[in-house]
Chains A and B, each alone.
Chain A
Amino acid sequence: MLLPRRADLAQPMRARVCTRAQQAATARLNVPIDYGSTSILSHTASSALSNAELPSAVRGGTTKRMNLFQAINSALGHALRTDPRVILFGEDVAFGGVFRCSMNLATEFGDARVFNTPLTEQGIVGFGIGAAMEGLRPVAEVQFADYVYPAFDQLVNEAAKCRYRAGNLADSMGCGGLVVRMPCGAVGHGGLYHSQSPEALFTHIPGLRVVIPRSPIQAKGLLLAAIECNDPVVFLEPKIIYRAAVEHVPEEPFTLPLSKAEVLKEGSNLTLISYGTPLYLCRAALDAIEKETGASVELIDLRTIYPWDRPTVLDSVKKTGRCVIVHESMVNAGVGAEVAATIQQGAFLSLEAPVRRVAGWSTHAGLAFEKFNIPDTVRIYDAIKQTLEF
């Protein structure tokens, strides 16, 4: 199985990549993402409504152009409107939130359901756990993911273990109604404490679901699913696309499945896996590679980082034999490590090349160095190319 594929696919590919890449050397790869044209977003109503994961009633409905914060706002508004158990709180949530995600919600639903808390992350998450234990469905906001650490004990020792330790009493003593939202990721100038993506710290914690949406449609559907879910959910929102990513979003409420990856583009030569913002860069890099080499790259959005969709990823890599994983947070013990190790064990005989990880380096988010630190189109392009040529 291994040898024939190397011979008939990889070798000719290597030749093609070399010649065409040389020809293309003048074309810039690290250009700003054109959110107005990227195929990651739905630029028309029909593309938004053709999503097979949407219920048929939603697919027959209308859409509205929204950016990511507006999609979050729309989801929160719907949840508050339809479920009296939903409450929304955190630092500066009442006036609309520092990223405008809770705009107008306090006005519509009142101070009892949308309110500010004192400035205490351990208090916010602990308060949310208690409210969930007593039957509410609290949506707590941590202002930046960088500031979730004071609440780490509450998330790891309490939220994640609440159902487990309650045993038979889990249905009435768990905190499954809890969602903890937090803006994450690099934003160009966030420095050490406005740039972090701590998702891998939570993927090590059974009991928590960790979700990161890539776009307004995804944010709306996944957030509504998170609020409905009876497990506590850590919901990370890539803040750089709060305003940048605009697409047609179905106006009707809908949910998208948790713990289910999505194949954004089918391909046969390499599996490219990511989540959140880097998907836009992945798309640009694979477009360049495909144009130059004729290789076919499969792009997968994990969406839920834990418990993650192992079967979809393994099926894809068994088909393509090659894999590159991309994430913004540092490479050491990052999500890529778990994905790569799972592939190594679950698809060993199919692998034609080492699984590559393109991620932040093992350092902090130094202000002036951001563009060298997090993955860019060049690094993703180069990793794909080297993996194809291996």
Chain B
Amino acid sequence: MSRYLLRSISRRWASSISQRPGATGINFPGAVNSAFTNTLRFANPNDSTSMPTYRVLDQDGMPSHPIGIPTDELLRMYRDMVFISVLDVLMFDAQRQGRISFYMVSAGEEGIAVGSASALSAADPIFAQYREPGVFRYRGFTADEFMAQLFATAADSGRGRNMPVHYGSRKGNIFTISSPLATQLPHAAGAAYAVKLANANADQNQRVVACYFGEGAASEGDFHAALNIAATRSCPVIWICRNNGFAISTPTLEQYRGDGIASRGVGYGVETLRVDGNDVLAVREATLKARELALQDSGKPVLIEAMSYRVAHHSTSDDSFAYRAKVEVEEWRRRDNPIARLRKYLQAQGLWDDGKEEELRKGTKKEVLEAYRRAEKARHPPVREMMTDVYEEFTEEQIQQLEELKDVVKRYPGEYDLSRYEEGIGGFTAR
């Protein structure tokens, strides 16, 4: 381990004298830079103004400063956002028709996922919550890979075990999504610590970890644990909070009373920025800068709170008009969404037009539908896959249980439909 790293980690409090005569402050070990005051005044959150929201493109797509992003990259971001919006519409309907069991759209938040992904290095590990399919798309997830997971086919890297939308990608360096909220935040801190140790031994290819979560998840204890542990261990991690105003039906007023999530970052000693999540270019710039900061001083955490609005229902199991006005949702959908805003910018630059738009949407729809039809016909993995990967090897108990199950299925042939599972009854044999 390099000495540089060791020095930077072990910042211990050191004081020989607790209070010098005439001192204006005291070295309490818990707050070393605090000065005395004779004014009795509680810090009141209302005294400070809300943290500002960083924006590059206004609602008409006009930039606040020259954008130095290559055209290829701009168009890639646009196409990826459109891909997700097309996928969302088709798969939401597919769930409504009973073709898949569940779905969650990310309408209105495509910019947060794609904008941040475009600022990260492809080797940066990512931990996601579930409303970041744009990150998977940016990192090369194909329509077939989305479909294999959604339909739980044999081609799904998750072997058909996870609910739809719980993607994972090795080539994309994105860890498999799990349903429990915020559990991925301490994981990101630990992974960032591993990355920090690796960075210390590498001159090039310095990496950071990115971790996404919603403002509701930030109320979990794991949020607190993760930011605190990442700060004390100086882990190179970028926390990206999608503050979309709702956790299922719960509005933010019932979620917290402070200045959003951003204000908390400062309390953990973490550099923090609030950004307009509907501005994909602002998110990209913010993440680029955060990545640079995260690699300073041999690593430190950075928090980005990306503001947006969840224009869709929480999931296919939710009717959001039970707790919010349809007119409000329509307002957001029409007036301020990340795809429309980037399109306005692209058109003003002469990089986009109606013809290209039609061609892109038609092509994307075709790509998604073809993958959909392939996945719909595919079978689930063999039944043994319900037991593999619990441990590295089958246990003696599991092998016996598979045999027991196979025996029942064989003796009650009319009760179980094996046609949807690869290998049929042969799939019950452990190997």
B392 surroundings in chain A (CB, below 8 A): 163, 176, 229-231
User: Is A154's CB under 8 angstroms from B190's CB?
Assistant: no
User: Is B158's CB under 8 angstroms from A167's CB?
Assistant: yes
Question: Which residues in chain A, 133-147, are within 8 Å of chain B measured between CB atoms?
Answer: 133-136, 138
A173–B170 CA distance with the chains assembled, in angstroms: 8
A163-B389, A164-B390, A167-B157 are known contacts. Are A173 and B168 too (CB-CB below 8 A)?
Answer: yes
CB of A63 closer than 8 Å to a CB of B: no
Contact of B193 among A127, A230, A259 (CB under 8 A): A127
A120-B228, A130-B188 are known contacts. Are A157 and B180 too (CB-CB below 8 A)?
Answer: yes
CB of A64 closer than 8 Å to a CB of B: no
Contact with B along A102-120 (1 / 0, CB 8 A): 0000000011110101101
CB of A161 closer than 8 Å to a CB of B: yes
A154–B183 CA distance with the chains assembled, in angstroms: 7
Contact of A173 among B156, B175, B188, B221 (CB under 8 A): B175
A191 surroundings in chain B (CB, below 8 A): none
B180 and chain A: residue at smallest CB distance: A157
User: Is A169's CB under 8 angstroms from B190's CB?
Assistant: no
A123-B226, A157-B178, A307-B395 are known contacts. Are A133 and B191 too (CB-CB below 8 A)?
Answer: yes
CB of A185 closer than 8 Å to a CB of B: no
CB of B194 closer than 8 Å to a CB of A: yes
B349 surroundings in chain A (CB, below 8 A): none
User: Which of the 9-residue segments B3-11, B48-56, B78-86, B329-337 touches chain A?
Assistant: B3-11
B9 and chain A: residue at smallest CB distance: A111
A148–B390 CA distance with the chains assembled, in angstroms: 22
Question: Which residues in chain B, 171-197, are within 8 Å of chain A measured between CB atoms?
Answer: 175-176, 178, 180, 183, 185-195, 197
A230–B222 CA distance with the chains assembled, in angstroms: 25
B6 surroundings in chain A (CB, below 8 A): 110-112
User: Is A158's CB under 8 angstroms from B178's CB?
Assistant: yes
A113 surroundings in chain B (CB, below 8 A): 1
User: Is A130's CB under 8 angstroms from B180's CB?
Assistant: no
CB of A11 closer than 8 Å to a CB of B: no
User: Which of the 9-residue segments B20-28, B62-70, B159-167 touches chain A?
Assistant: B159-167
User: Is B195's CB under 8 angstroms from A134's CB?
Assistant: yes
Interface centre among B159, B187, B190 (most CB of A within 10 A): B190
User: Is A133's CB under 8 angstroms from B175's CB?
Assistant: yes
User: Is B229's CB under 8 angstroms from A118's CB?
Assistant: yes
User: Is B176's CB under 8 angstroms from A130's CB?
Assistant: no
B187 surroundings in chain A (CB, below 8 A): 126-127, 129-130, 133, 158
Contact of B226 among A126, A230, A307, A311 (CB under 8 A): A126
Contact of B229 among A117, A164, A209 (CB under 8 A): A117
CB of A83 closer than 8 Å to a CB of B: no
User: Is B168's CB under 8 angstroms from A169's CB?
Assistant: yes
CB of B72 closer than 8 Å to a CB of A: no
In the assembled complex, the CB of B67 is this many whole angstroms from the nearest CB of chain A, namely 34
A126-B183, A130-B190, A131-B193 are known contacts. Are A120 and B178 too (CB-CB below 8 A)?
Answer: no
CB of A165 closer than 8 Å to a CB of B: yes
CB of A166 closer than 8 Å to a CB of B: yes
B385 surroundings in chain A (CB, below 8 A): 167
Interface centre among A123, A132, A153, A311 (most CB of B within 10 A): A123
User: Is A206's CB under 8 angstroms from B188's CB?
Assistant: no
A169 surroundings in chain B (CB, below 8 A): 157-158, 168-170, 176
A166–B389 CA distance with the chains assembled, in angstroms: 9
In the assembled complex, the CB of B166 is this many whole angstroms from the nearest CB of chain A, namely 7
CB of A150 closer than 8 Å to a CB of B: yes
Contact of B176 among A123, A128, A173, A229 (CB under 8 A): A173
Interface centre among A113, A122, A209, A229 (most CB of B within 10 A): A122
CB of B396 closer than 8 Å to a CB of A: yes
User: Is B10's CB under 8 angstroms from A122's CB?
Assistant: no
B200 and chain A: residue at smallest CB distance: A112
CB of B225 closer than 8 Å to a CB of A: yes
CB of B397 closer than 8 Å to a CB of A: yes
CB of B115 closer than 8 Å to a CB of A: no
In the assembled complex, the CB of A98 is this many whole angstroms from the nearest CB of chain B, namely 19
User: Is A110's CB under 8 angstroms from B1's CB?
Assistant: yes
A123–B222 CA distance with the chains assembled, in angstroms: 6
A120-B228, A173-B175 are known contacts. Are A126 and B190 too (CB-CB below 8 A)?
Answer: yes
A126-B222, A166-B389 are known contacts. Are A115 and B395 too (CB-CB below 8 A)?
Answer: no
Contact with B along A175-200 (1 / 0, CB 8 A): 01000000000000000000000000
Contact of A123 among B10, B229, B389 (CB under 8 A): B229
B162 and chain A: residue at smallest CB distance: A165
CB of B391 closer than 8 Å to a CB of A: yes
CB of A310 closer than 8 Å to a CB of B: yes
A120-B229, A167-B158 are known contacts. Are A138 and B190 too (CB-CB below 8 A)?
Answer: yes
A166–B158 CA distance with the chains assembled, in angstroms: 5
User: Is A310's CB under 8 angstroms from B396's CB?
Assistant: yes
Closest 9 interchain pairs by CB?
Answer: A126-B186, A130-B190, A123-B225, A130-B187, A134-B194, A167-B159, A131-B190, A127-B190, A134-B191
Cβ contacts A to B, 7 pairs, < 8 Å: A111-B6, A120-B225, A123-B224, A126-B187, A163-B392, A166-B176, A230-B392
Assuming A122-B222, A130-B191, A259-B395, what are 12 further A-B pairs, CB within 8 angstroms? A111-B6, A118-B225, A118-B229, A120-B221, A129-B186, A130-B194, A134-B125, A134-B190, A134-B195, A136-B193, A154-B222, A173-B176
Residues of B at under 8 Å CB distance from A? 1, 5-6, 9-10, 125, 127, 156-159, 161-162, 166, 168-170, 175-176, 178, 180, 183, 185-195, 197, 200, 209, 221-222, 224-226, 228-229, 232-233, 385, 389-392, 395-397
